[in-house]
Amino acid sequence: MAYEKREQLYEGKAKKVYATEDPNVVIVSYKDDATAFNGQKKGTITGKGAINNRMTNNLMRRLEAKGVPTHYIEELNDRETAVKKVSIVPLEVIVRNISAGSFAKRYGVEEGIVFDEPTIEFSYKNDDLHDPLINSYHAVALKLATWDEIDTIKKYAFQVNDFLKKTLAECGVTLVDFKLEFGKTADGTIVLADEISPDTCRLWDEKTHEKLDKDRFRRDLGGAEEAYEEVMRRLMGDR
Ligand code: TMP
H runs (alpha helix) in 44-112: 48-65, 101-107
Tens digit of pLDDT for each residue in 162-218? 999 999 999 999 999 999 999 999 999 999 999 999 999 999 999 999 999 999 999
Asked if residue 104 and residue 58 are part of one domain, the reply reads no
Query: How many domains in the chain?
Result: 2
- Ligand 1 cavity residues, CB under 6 Å: 94, 100-103, 177-179, 200-202
Q: Which atom, in ligand 1's list, is nearest to the CA of 199?
A: 15
Domain boundary among 29, 57, 84: 84
pTM of the full predicted structure?
0.97
Q: For the range 213-217, what are the long-range contacts, defined as Cβ-Cβ under 8 Å and sequence gap of 24 or more?
A: 214/34, 214/36, 214/45, 215/101, 217/34, 217/36, 217/41, 217/43, 217/45
Residues 30, 42: Cα–Cα separation, whole Å: 16
Domain that holds residue 72: 8-84
The number of the ligand 1 atom at minimal distance from the alpha carbon of 202 is 10
Ligand 1 centroid vs 109 CA: distance in angstroms?
A: 17
Reference 142, options 191, 90, 189, 177; nearest CA is 90
Asked whether residue 21 carries a pLDDT value surpassing 90, the answer given is yes
In a domain, 186, yes or no: yes
- The per-residue pLDDT for range 26-60, each reduced to its tens digit, is 999 999 999 999 999 999 999 999 999 999 999 99
Cβ atoms of 33 and 42 within 8 Å: the answer is yes
Residues 89/189, Cβ–Cβ less than 8 Å: no
How confident is the model over 106-125, as pLDDT tens digits? 999 999 999 999 999 999 99
214 neighbors 198 (Cβ within 8 angstroms): yes
Probe residue for ligand 1, chosen from 133, 176, 177, 228 as the CB with the greatest number of ligand atoms within 8 Å = 177
Query: What pLDDT is recorded for position 239?
Result: 54
Q: What CATH number is given to the structural domain containing 35?
A: 3.30.200.20
Q: Is the residue at 237 inside a domain?
A: no
Spacing, Cα 170 to ligand 1 middle (Å) = 23
How confident is residue 237, by pLDDT bands cut at 50, 70 and 90? confident
Q: Which of 54, 84, 114 is the last residue of a domain?
A: 84
Return the CATH number at 113: 3.30.470.20
